[in-house]
Structure 1
């Protein structure tokens, strides 16, 4: 039997000289604003994607011009924490070197820039480096930005969890010096091949890998949607270990039933000193067992499904040299952020600001970007980006509260939001994402206005419902873990998914396919009416949809998501 042909990305990685490719030559070329096809895959490992303005494609084509190419660069910020000084540097770059003149907070607790011309890429990366920030491995077939519950209340436990997020992120970075050589003008080091990538090897992982650290009862990092998750187990406010979960992932492909979103499996409890061993073990099993033929089936979730939970667990234990203990009891609860002021155990105050769509820009009458800049100039604590695309002004002394609040209020950063709006997120989608089939970020605020109005009409305005929208089924805003998930199918048309639970421990399922706004709102109106009249005490919307048999629950994603 002949050997199966690998996915083209595998050959690109193998031949890339550890992610160098011809990126340097492409960067120097003034002939086009783009990189070659092969280098477009490799630059992802360096933290950015090539895009173009799809709103202008036809106009530029008619003028016989190439698409208006630009780049989206995503930073690596473990746990989403940065200093005010770093924020000022980030803001300066956005203002001076991007056409969008904005900062976008992502659903993985970092920020990204849009509208970067190729000529500015190197300047931006060097600017980030001066702020002790980088974009290494923010994209690509490697471990990406490690999320961590921002926990503004229990500062001691947050600090311990955050330290693990940083350790995991730093330890699992690619070791190649390609990033330093190309973008920071470092000299090439002479090393043996075995020294270059001790965890990843020459071909890195079969696909992207996402990791999160959760601190119960909060599940704001959606820990079960990650390839690898660490759920903190505490005793009297001190971290004693983690429940490890693995095999989550949101992406799927419309119409291809062999692809599906999945939530992670519970593997067991591990001690802090064994954390890195287990992280490496899970990643190297995925490296060696993952599908390198079909990229649509190459995420860790499929590796576990294809090889079986028991076999995968046994191999992880073998490589870690440690056995899992029985999982500890933990409570997984709210996925939302705590808006407004909250006080921590350290007597410091924390102000969570709602940022619509995560987009920090100066709108008419709402100069959000200027406001954040002014806050950074006087704040003495840190900033914490959340996985709900919001930001926390953390560690504020009692004496500084009024000044912080006044600046935020003066710049439109203090807003009242409905419970559902405060729990909901959307991806960027059009006009820049090349995968988007429908709008998300630009349309979502208007859509949520209508959802809020529907909830008010049926007397359930106080009930938070997790609503998420994406322009395609790759799932960047984790729509398949939402109580109401909307996934773009075509311009103005979405698939409607229902039945996930509020806590994020059950997936949703397709309810209606390829429908427009009027049909979506009609369906939701009827469902809200039923929910308002028939809900049990403390019953959430997703649980109502399953109990009332509006939709069947997804217990086993491989079997139930399409069935």
Structure 2
């Protein structure tokens, strides 16, 4: 056996041994951060550090030159915050603006997990950055690592009353699934030291924590902007006459895979039933515990929850869950998703306040004179006068939320002054594009993503205009490796990095996150990509049905076969 349900379980991998010996996720991080001889932490601390919301990275573009000069790589750290539901105050935004300029690379990146990342933080600035976050009641606990990550929640529902209640449950879910260890406070915030940290119990996670990361989300129909079927655990809010009845529960979704290995795959989550709001946290806890006990702890590529269910069956999981809960979930209740994109522009809530969804290409908030961008400055100016809140979206955009009617003209003036884009100013294809960070800092990236996708989208926009369909929404996503950070396989056209300048091309996803795309072409570059897209857009323009999405057209006309399960994810011929 390779799981904790085996009473004779003994960890065999270095990562599993390291978690058990980490003294509650402390390891030797104090010593590593204090060591000024290197810009890196000790190898034995790298995995522990992730649980504090931080990845060690290095500049891959100058590593060879530095090696010639007998210098270590140019190390830096990415810090990812924990912000349930992606909501922060103007005060927090202004603090974030200061942090990015004082400690990071003068940019803020909105992630696909509805939070923000700071890039380029050097080791000596880690502790000051964490402390600056803490001053405005933010943290990065469980931003990364083998635990539950940032809990996402629909930030811009049709009925804003629904958001208030559902958002509070999302926050409760995030807090409930936090580890018990106080290591974050001890190490970074000079909290009270635990006398015997190795004896601290983790009632949910246990001494080895989870086999891999775990992701939970909350959706509010009819919008599926959180891409609920791509996640380990999902809750679909069922609302009738403005009242939250409860949630349909989904489990077992996931995106990461390995090129050329059919044993790895993306998996769509299964529906397992309906629960009332007061049952939500118990279901989450027991689901995490099942993954803790039965997840693969020998091969990390098979350690995600989707493989636990895929190997054992959804029927097994439901039986195990119901046994642990002491009750059974009710049958699913009806709901409908109509889109997994954002609602751009101005939207008015039930209370008369306004919400403005801004377009942020690939989530990068920065000033760039060459590109004419003043997004960082513009957001700072807005935060200085805004009286509501900000909401980061799962599609890497930002909503200026709860703008009073009296304050709207002032916000509108600042948006115009700084040239901020409200969505309608860019094409539907660009509105629906998304990319992961990839090069130059992500150690897993095989190809460009964030820096390349905008220019590729420009080419695709021109092809769409050529065929007279430039006004139609088509989702285009890109990621630099197959690990799934860009949620690429949920796009109607998706690109996953295979090597420098080369990508695997996937096609045929559904228009609202209900179906994954499948592999269509392997290892192609731009010179091969554009003729394929040109041909398919031409056929779509000529033969599509009324209101038919591009992904649905590709499936209907046999360009690709529809994804029906993990067996369909890797290459198939129509």
TM-score for the superposition, normalised by structure 2: 0.96
Please give the alpha-carbon distance, in whole angstroms, between the structure 2 residues aligned to 1:50 and 1:137. Answer: 15
Classify the secondary structure of the residue corresponding to 1:468: strand
Please give the alpha-carbon distance, in whole angstroms, between the structure 2 residues aligned to 1:521 and 1:548. Answer: 20
Please give the alpha-carbon distance, in whole angstroms, between the structure 1 residues aligned to 2:407 and 2:492. Answer: 38
| Contact 1:546–1:552 (8 Å) recurs in 2 | yes
| Contact 1:261–1:557 (8 Å) recurs in 2 | yes
Q: Map 1:88-487; keep pairs closer than 5 Å.
A: 88-98=94-104, 100-151=105-156, 153-190=158-195, 196-364=201-369, 365-414=372-421, 416-487=425-496
Classify the secondary structure of the residue corresponding to 1:108: coil
Gaps of 5+ in 1: none
| Contact 2:156–2:343 (8 Å) recurs in 1 | no
Please give the alpha-carbon distance, in whole angstroms, between the structure 1 residues aligned to 2:216 and 2:570. Answer: 23
Please give the alpha-carbon distance, in whole angstroms, between the structure 1 residues aligned to 2:42 and 2:545. Answer: 57
Please give the alpha-carbon distance, in whole angstroms, between the structure 1 residues aligned to 2:222 and 2:48. Answer: 38
Correspondence for 1:34? 40
| Contact 2:517–2:569 (8 Å) recurs in 1 | no
Alpha-carbon RMSD across the aligned residues, in angstroms, is 1.5
Cα distance 1:561–1:267, how it changes in 2: closer, same or farther (>3 A)?
farther
Please give the alpha-carbon distance, in whole angstroms, between the structure 2 residues aligned to 1:108 and 1:406. Answer: 30
Please give the alpha-carbon distance, in whole angstroms, between the structure 2 residues aligned to 1:31 and 1:221. Answer: 42
Correspondence for 1:501? 510
Correspondence for 2:84? 78
| Contact 1:153–1:345 (8 Å) recurs in 2 | no
Superposed displacement of residue 150, structure 1: 0.4
| Contact 1:554–1:561 (8 Å) recurs in 2 | no
Please give the alpha-carbon distance, in whole angstroms, between the structure 1 residues aligned to 2:27 and 2:359. Answer: 41
Superposed displacement of residue 409, structure 1: 1.6
Please give the alpha-carbon distance, in whole angstroms, between the structure 1 residues aligned to 2:94 and 2:167. Answer: 22
Classify the secondary structure of the residue corresponding to 2:547: coil
Superposed displacement of residue 195, structure 1: 5.6
Please give the alpha-carbon distance, in whole angstroms, between the structure 1 residues aligned to 2:330 and 2:530. Answer: 47
| Contact 1:257–1:562 (8 Å) recurs in 2 | no
Superposed displacement of residue 382, structure 1: 0.3
Classify the secondary structure of the residue corresponding to 1:469: strand
Number of equivalences: 562
Q: Which runs of 4+ in 1 moved over 4 A?
A: 1-5, 190-195
Correspondence for 2:5? none
Please give the alpha-carbon distance, in whole angstroms, between the structure 1 residues aligned to 2:397 and 2:530. Answer: 26
| Contact 1:156–1:237 (8 Å) recurs in 2 | yes
Superposed displacement of residue 192, structure 1: 8.7
Please give the alpha-carbon distance, in whole angstroms, between the structure 1 residues aligned to 2:111 and 2:315. Answer: 34
Correspondence for 2:4? none
Please give the alpha-carbon distance, in whole angstroms, between the structure 1 residues aligned to 2:132 and 2:158. Answer: 33
Deviations 1:503-524 (A, max 9, x none): 1111111100000001111101
Cα distance 1:499–1:390, how it changes in 2: closer, same or farther (>3 A)?
same
Correspondence for 1:549? 558
| Contact 1:152–1:342 (8 Å) recurs in 2 | no
Classify the secondary structure of the residue corresponding to 2:161: helix
Classify the secondary structure of the residue corresponding to 2:384: helix
Please give the alpha-carbon distance, in whole angstroms, between the structure 2 residues aligned to 1:55 and 1:120. Answer: 23
Please give the alpha-carbon distance, in whole angstroms, between the structure 2 residues aligned to 1:153 and 1:245. Answer: 22
Superposed displacement of residue 152, structure 1: 5.2
Please give the alpha-carbon distance, in whole angstroms, between the structure 2 residues aligned to 1:120 and 1:302. Answer: 38
Deviations 1:162-212 (A, max 9, x none): 011100001111110111111011122357977631100000011000110
Classify the secondary structure of the residue corresponding to 1:319: helix
Please give the alpha-carbon distance, in whole angstroms, between the structure 1 residues aligned to 2:368 and 2:197. Answer: 52
| Contact 1:207–1:298 (8 Å) recurs in 2 | yes
Cα distance 1:560–1:441, how it changes in 2: closer, same or farther (>3 A)?
closer
Superposed displacement of residue 138, structure 1: 0.5
TM-score for the superposition, normalised by structure 1: 0.98
Superposed displacement of residue 538, structure 1: 1.1
Cα distance 1:401–1:123, how it changes in 2: closer, same or farther (>3 A)?
same
